[in-house]
Structure 1
């Protein structure tokens, strides 16, 4: 891999790497990178025009079909809604084919795209739309209904997969109608420069409300191309080993496009390499096995839960999975013992794991194939050529091999900061370009990263980041709650689930189930605690007067596992 990568990125190579100064820091950068995501998309969509691109249930679209609709979307945004360069345009829908054309069309006219979490409830959508200053939203029917529940929100909505009657009732325009009434193409395309904003993607951290990570065009293009280098290197190794490659790579798409994994390493890289995406309406292991066989899928990626369910499915051996080459995971740690089990359950299919964050455009580290089997507890090495990994102390001092500290990532693919949150930006991004991930880890002598804990107070449930502070704030909205603490509980299937302990106000009766039902009204389902304990005593405190979350988490994890009494 190292030799192939070096050849590809050497001067005169396919993707030669030089240097670029960004915000006062010099980084490795691709010399011939497209100046913007618009040029990246236009070039690769045209290059792969005749290939099949998206399969969704009975619908099939070529790259040319998607590009044609994207141009129509761009015309609608410009001529009907007056969307101009820098305006924020949100996408709030499931993984539908229109998600892709909406994204490409908005990028075409220079808009900043805001992918919204499709599982958010109205209150959460209201926060994201208001915080980003979104002018227009692409929404499917379910998200349209939620948006219209938001009081005092004035935002235009273009809706897909929605009847004309429902759209009219809810004050929205169907995308089909808008396209029919618009010119065939935009009349003007503004210049887009590498440091212009391209996307705002909301991510949950330790401070409560999600933060909008703002990526520039240079960053998102660089992140995509960094994945391309890895793909080209693996292709060369496969060819050298005599592996017969299919005429087209086919990926089963079962992670949300509104996540960084769905957007960069899946969607944007697929456009570059001409890879077909087979969209699942919702995750179902049995249906996934059927689709792998029917569509001759070569690549599978999802949160670790999904590959575990594939492996354990009782009908697994009934399907022809011979085309499948790689079973990748990201978004959450995969238990080390699952790596060997996957390799045994799927002979000839190789497991892989990736580590990246919204703030790094998904790039960071990766562990693949035999390297992964030999080090199943590691998330791998820094992905070259863009990424530098370091373990830093609280004082930002570089730590040596084997020492545990904060995992920090530096690359030209890092986002420029958080939308309208200068203090959060200054806290997370150092002046010399390091992003502080909030994860604790160590590097071995060979540069392999192992994550050992989390410094920031988040819970990762099946790949979804959940801010414990956000859930605590929602719990305190219950009139009977005096104190609350939220933490992650171990779970074999999802990695973690949300747990909470509350102390009621004096004399007020309270049950855990009442808290769960209360939270379900306003929080996305994945944020709602699976278990809530009610304490008869005030929660333990530190000397500072803060609730002692560390001891509570340790105790209730033991309770959850049946090793202690509540």
Structure 2
């Protein structure tokens, strides 16, 4: 079947499907609820439990199903859970529990998932740190979170070692031996004296389950506090949507038997963590890890493991479609993307090469637990520039004026999301938290767009001074601050440069001394910033940078001028 030929879902069909699934009750029963002073007409009743308790229920149901595959290692749901509970009980024996934070600083490994589940189920708050961060960034995350225990791999441990004693950190080796290790996760998991029972102390569903750092427009990353209730409403919403789709489009099977998905996104971001890992755990879907992104290897794994789903940033979906050989994607029913807008030309290429595979896309943010909109099949054909409708049944999306007034359908404004999945707030930053919401719980995304009469959201611009490079958010101010440290730099403006594959790359325009070496500017940025934040195209300005009427540097003018002139230095776009 040509997936793109499936008729778009009308508003009437969608609403009828939603009501039918709601009428069936558990596990998708909803109820009105007031959360942190905000009234919601629909909140999943199951979110009155903690994430730990819901995970325990699903473990009993799925314990014998395959769950994690990494190279020649294979683990069932039950095996992963047993190891996680042993780590949870070890943490509790160390005095770790509710109110404490434990960090993870490592690349994707099976142990990442075990550590994560163990931390959450101990009652503590898990702090996944960006594995691409450099020393100053990791120090900031550890200091800000006040985490005293870190589960780390060797590379991250080496970077963090200079601040270990200063911050009073306990290093737990996540997989291999690491510099400065105090404990080894594998030794803990092998200790038969430690119970594998589920901890029984109650966890408030409105307490923090996770602290995730997100790049914004204010320079330093902000810590988004996500609750048990919030993440459950997100994951249940995605499962709910699939049930609705089965009702309204029964001719398309997007949930085949023995489901499996490639895990090629980092677990320290909400798409990999929530949309792949947690959704996979709660739905019984196998996760197959990749060591690093290699599209040809990914296609081979999909073929060998008979995987049914793929979710990545647009660049990865594009690479996969181009690299796949005949037969590689025969079991795939859907190629989805998130993190950035998928170019229409890339979607068209997939339809041309693999018409039977659904193309889908989602839109969400760290602050919303990745919950927002979704679009697929005939809807994607009809509205190729849209990010989709709000994911039902607990999420509302609307455009707002700068003064906080909800705008009519079709009128452009700031896209705002109201949902019980929204974050509790930013860590130790009440001012930023207050500024992030309009009254009645509407989270301000910082994206500009409109909602049409059928409920489809289209993003047209960005209010925040940010770059989205291959799905990674880059704060322009953070990069500018790093470059300003260089002697000879008088003014700098960092901005997004359009890129066919990555969407945007990081560009910089600099005014300074004539002998300023632009290559050294990039090298300094590499020492201070994660690789995805480093400028790869740099322009030297012969005069002070242009300014608008308010005296601020006019990046609109800079983008126009730089688009008409080649950079004076360019290296490392890919």
Correspondence 1:534 to 2:540: yes
Aligned pair partner of 2:375 in 342, 367, 374: 367
Distance 2:30 2:567 in 1: 50
Structure 2 equivalent of residue 98 of structure 1: 111
Structure 1 equivalent of residue 476 of structure 2: 468
> Which piece of structure 1 moves more, 225-234 or 354-363?
225-234
Q: Is the 8 A contact 1:511 1:534 kept in 2?
A: no
Aligned pair partner of 1:198 in 192, 200, 209: 209
Distance 1:321 1:349 in 2: 9
Structure 1 equivalent of residue 338 of structure 2: 330
> Residues 382 and 194 of structure 1: is their aligned pair in 2 closer, same or farther, counting only changes over 3 Å?
same
Q: Secondary structure at the match of 2:528?
A: coil
> Which piece of structure 1 moves more, 22-31 or 276-285?
22-31
> Which piece of structure 1 moves more, 422-431 or 461-470?
422-431
> Residues 202 and 243 of structure 1: is their aligned pair in 2 closer, same or farther, counting only changes over 3 Å?
closer
> Residues 540 and 561 of structure 1: is their aligned pair in 2 closer, same or farther, counting only changes over 3 Å?
closer
Structure 2 equivalent of residue 517 of structure 1: 523
> Residues 476 and 320 of structure 1: is their aligned pair in 2 closer, same or farther, counting only changes over 3 Å?
closer
Q: Secondary structure at the match of 1:322?
A: coil
Structure 2 equivalent of residue 399 of structure 1: 407
Please list, as runs of the form range in 1=range in 2, the aligned pairs for 1:133-532 lying within 5 A after superposition: 133-150=146-163, 152-163=166-177, 167=178, 169-181=179-191, 183-185=194-196, 189-236=200-247, 240-241=250-251, 243=253, 246-313=256-323, 316-505=324-513, 509-532=515-538
Query: Deviation at 1:512?
Result: 1.8
- The Cα offsets for residues 212-237 of structure 1, whole Å up to 9 and x where unpaired, read as 00011111111111111012223445
CA RMSD, aligned part only?
A: 1.9
- The Cα offsets for residues 175-215 of structure 1, whole Å up to 9 and x where unpaired, read as 11233456234795432112111111110011000000001
- Tell me which stretches of 4 or more aligned residues in structure 1 moved more than 6 Å: none
Structure 1 equivalent of residue 25 of structure 2: 12
- Structure 1 residue runs without a partner (length 5+): none
Correspondence 1:65 to 2:75: no
> Residues 219 and 203 of structure 1: is their aligned pair in 2 closer, same or farther, counting only changes over 3 Å?
same
Aligned length: 552
Q: Is the 8 A contact 1:387 1:410 kept in 2?
A: yes
Query: Deviation at 1:242?
Result: 7.2
Query: Deviation at 1:343?
Result: 1.2
- The Cα offsets for residues 485-543 of structure 1, whole Å up to 9 and x where unpaired, read as 000000111100000011114xx511221100111111110000011112121111223
Q: TM-score, normalised by structure 1?
A: 0.94
Q: TM-score, normalised by structure 2?
A: 0.93
Q: Is the 8 A contact 1:46 1:63 kept in 2?
A: no
Distance 2:17 2:258 in 1: 22
Distance 1:275 1:187 in 2: 22
Query: Deviation at 1:243?
Result: 4.6
Distance 1:393 1:474 in 2: 34
- The Cα offsets for residues 413-469 of structure 1, whole Å up to 9 and x where unpaired, read as 101110000000000012310000000001112111110010000100011000000
Distance 1:13 1:62 in 2: 26
- Structure 2 residue runs without a partner (length 5+): 1-13, 569-574
Please list, as runs of the form range in 1=range in 2, the aligned pairs for 1:80-119 lying within 5 A after superposition: 81-119=94-132
Q: Secondary structure at the match of 2:445?
A: strand
Aligned pair partner of 1:556 in 538, 545, 562: 562
Query: Deviation at 1:141?
Result: 1.1
Q: Secondary structure at the match of 2:438?
A: coil
Query: Deviation at 1:17?
Result: 1.7
> Residues 317 and 162 of structure 1: is their aligned pair in 2 closer, same or farther, counting only changes over 3 Å?
closer
Structure 1 equivalent of residue 3 of structure 2: none
